[in-house]
Structure 1
């Protein structure tokens, strides 16, 4: 089995039951992170009460989350979504371990997961309160929603964020790694990339347009890996170790990815080491202006009730 087959999955290859995508311990060599992506319709989707902490992220449309936990708590959270992942952040909710949930609504939802053993409270983050970070500059400008990072969310293991890269720009660059435990320098984290791509804002494309981007992962001292792939909506790349990046948005097409990270280190931290051959590129950003196309935000406030 080559690395493209083992660590890269085109849309549909990870389908299970009613989910379009499922990443969990059933994937050979995968331990610390999980992901579910699916369309909500009819009776919706159920999440069992197991030893994983979760974050519910609406990708398209609104989501209602009915939950109950092992301590006897229960409630309903209505998440105002968005028309697409290129329309700014959505409301999100964190559910601690041993929490059962039912998801209903119309549209597509992602559920980020990480095995854990600490019982933490439900946390709701509204779109208006999620910082929209413009990272990099020039052709390395991208938009990051850091709703599930250590600075913005109290969790035991789970780290989640999403990145929007406009057409012709590079993100996850310079290539970097997080596969060694070096206190204060680098942390060990598995990482999931879930991709979506669309015709770039403001362009009138023909019906046969085929939005795509590019993604790469390559070897580090922690292990051999070699993934170089076109990426389209619904594709998933797994990064068990190694340098990863760039994620490149092709001309004419914007690129989105949801990142899910967790690892074995006791401290929940996202600490990275750049590929020493390319890390110097960061210094070039100081003399460049950020891409004026960003931020991508909705034309109007998201619709949907909130509690």
Structure 2
């Protein structure tokens, strides 16, 4: 049995952790990466200038010689999801998301935002799409994969960037999440100040990302967004509907700040503050700053 990891970056701590649990020899296939985290074997699929990672799908499929019982782990990122689909089609394998446990070829999967669990067994390789996790240091030079397979004839003609895009919330220890309780995009500065005081990542509910576009789409938490399990989750102006809370059910401590005492979020919170976020957040930041100052006072 072999565990395969397919990636376009070294942000694969979550996949390596899953591979460790599976206990099989690990082969990492890096697309456009020459130095990868240490594994039993590391391969690289080179990318020429202007070639998107997705175009390398035929070469990746040739490199991954997965057999029944093997698991192919792919990070839940746009480019890698394309590669996962191509691999699944070639291998006749299922694509599994929401996998929470694997034992003896039996995959346990969250369904409907964690309301139910499904168990799946397959006699083919399985392609698992999982949160990538934090970045790991490159330690091992990859062996170039030399094969007659050719990439698709595609080229990158334009690129756009977002300074806040690409955050992998799955490995965050502290998160401040914002909802539609904020009246304007500029007001998110209050949440950013709180996040900075807590050394936390900034996240949001779906309407903030897809409704008004105040934060990148990969920042929202919920059944169709990211699933997180931080030590601390501070929800500010988030109503707490089921589809959002499904993404935070494994958080150790949930703090809710909302001016509606009947908001559903309070039924899930360990601590709740009923109040105006425009008054509560500055007060919290001030209190946290004073606490740090006292911690530095050596008199």
TM-score by length of 2: 0.29
Q: Which has the higher contact order (CA 8 A, sep 6+)?
A: 1
More strand by share: 1
Structure with max Cα Rg: 2
More helix by share: 2
TM-score by length of 1: 0.28
